[in-house]
């Protein structure tokens, strides 16, 4: 079984020295990559800007910077994967124009117009084969459950892992996470605060439960 994982933040370039990014460190995605490899999956890890190393030899890592680069890398690897886990914090907007020289300070405001990026998970969800399993992550600050469930439907996911910024010890940069897993069949599993590695073990266990019932690849 081949699993495709996106992890970390994307950087959207403003000029040669500046970018728009986010606080994702990639720890959760990298923990998932290690766990999947330990469970015998072939892993393709598409990593945004992170400061992390991969340990397991069974992980093929592709480094990207922008949402556009991550989209292209995913599309090149999506068709022959059995499982995809969308764990990256992909920028939703990118500068419409990238300055070729460093923008200089002036008296006026600087207005940067942003255009939407492609939603990688949604695009893959549209071309998903029946026997592929797609898992998303959602980090919400309000109406957590409702937003997570609507994302699962909109992005054609089989499972979504919700973490709330309201929970202490969960979210960006921590080594721990507190998540609730929602499955397409209506199942809801609330997990206690645990290390990201333990969360990865639980998520992989749930994936294995789903994939046992999935029709085998032709
Ligand atoms: O940003 P949002 O809350 O919609 O993210 C939910 C899921 O969609 C996450 O799994 C994230 O990795 C994925 N996503 C993506 N491409 C985007 C935005 C989000 O793959 N441009």
Per-residue pLDDT tens for 111-169? Answer: 999 999 999 999 999 999 999 999 999 998 889 999 999 999 999 999 999 987 777 77
Ligand 1 pocket, residue 119 CB under 6 Å:
yes
Task: Give the per-residue pLDDT at 212.
Answer: 65
Ligand 1 pocket, residue 121 CB under 6 Å:
yes
- Return phi, psi of residue 12, to 5°: -110, 115
Task: Give the per-residue pLDDT at 208.
Answer: 93
Ligand 1 pocket, residue 136 CB under 6 Å:
yes
Considering the entire predicted model, what is its pTM?
Answer: 0.94
Residue minimizing CA distance to atom 2 of ligand 1: 138
**Residue of 22, 72, 143, 163 marked catalytic:** 22
**Which segments of the chain have a pLDDT < 50?**
215-218
Check if the beta carbon of residue 187 is closer than 8 Å to that of residue 162: no
Task: Give the per-residue pLDDT at 172.
Answer: 76
- Return phi, psi of residue 176, to 5°: -115, 165
Q: Fold for domain 2-101+112-210?
A: Rossmann fold (3.40.50)
Residue that is written with structure tokens 């994307």 in the block: 10
Domain ranges of the chain: 2-101+112-210
Ligand 1 pocket, residue 10 CB under 6 Å:
no
Instruction: Report the separation in Å between the CA atom of 216 and the middle of ligand 1, taken as the mean of its atom positions.
Output: 27
Query: Which residue stretches of the chain are H helix?
Result: 27-38, 67-78, 120-127, 144-154, 196-213
Check if the beta carbon of residue 27 is closer than 8 Å to that of residue 175: yes
Check if the beta carbon of residue 43 is closer than 8 Å to that of residue 63: no
Mutate to test the pocket of ligand 1, among 45, 77, 121 (most ligand atoms within 8 A of CB): 121
| Cα 8 to Cα 16, 23, 69, 90, 103, distances in angstroms | 21, 9, 13, 8, 27
Residue minimizing CA distance to atom 14 of ligand 1: 121
Task: Give the per-residue pLDDT at 165.
Answer: 76
Task: Give the per-residue pLDDT at 216.
Answer: 47
Check if the beta carbon of residue 71 is closer than 8 Å to that of residue 118: yes
Ligand 1 pocket, residue 120 CB under 6 Å:
yes
Instruction: Report the separation in Å between the CA atom of 120 and the middle of ligand 1, taken as the mean of its atom positions.
Output: 7
* Structural tokens at position 127: 């071309």
- CA separation for the pair 178, 127 (Å, rounded): 31
Residue minimizing CA distance to atom 5 of ligand 1: 138
Instruction: Judge whether 185 counts as a catalytic residue.
Output: no
């Amino acid at each position: 079984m081949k699993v495709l994982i996106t992890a970390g933040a994307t950087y959207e370039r403003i000029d040669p020295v500046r970018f728009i990014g986010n606080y994702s460190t990639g720890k959760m995605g990298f923990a998932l990559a290690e766990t999947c490899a330990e469970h015998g999956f072939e892993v393709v890890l598409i990593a945004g800007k992170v400061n992390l190393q991969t340990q397991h030899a069974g992980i093929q890592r592709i480094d990207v910077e922008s949402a556009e680069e991550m989209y292209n890398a995913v599309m090149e690897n999506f068709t022959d994967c059995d499982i995809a886990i969308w764990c990256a914090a992909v920028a939703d907007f990118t500068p419409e124009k990238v300055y070729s020289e460093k923008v200089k300070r002036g008296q006026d405001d600087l207005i940067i117009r942003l255009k939407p990026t492609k939603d990688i998970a949604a695009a893959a969800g549209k071309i998903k084969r029946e026997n592929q399993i797609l898992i998303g992550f959602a980090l919400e600050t309000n109406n957590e459950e409702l937003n997570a469930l609507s994302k699962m439907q909109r992005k054609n996911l089989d499972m979504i892992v919700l973490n709330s910024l309201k929970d202490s010890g969960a979210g960006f940069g921590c080594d721990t996470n507190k998540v609730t897993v929602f499955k397409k069949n209506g199942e809801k599993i609330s997990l206690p605060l645990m290390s990201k590695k333990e969360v990865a073990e639980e998520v992989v266990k749930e994936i294995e439960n789903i994939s046992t019932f999935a029709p085998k690849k032709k």
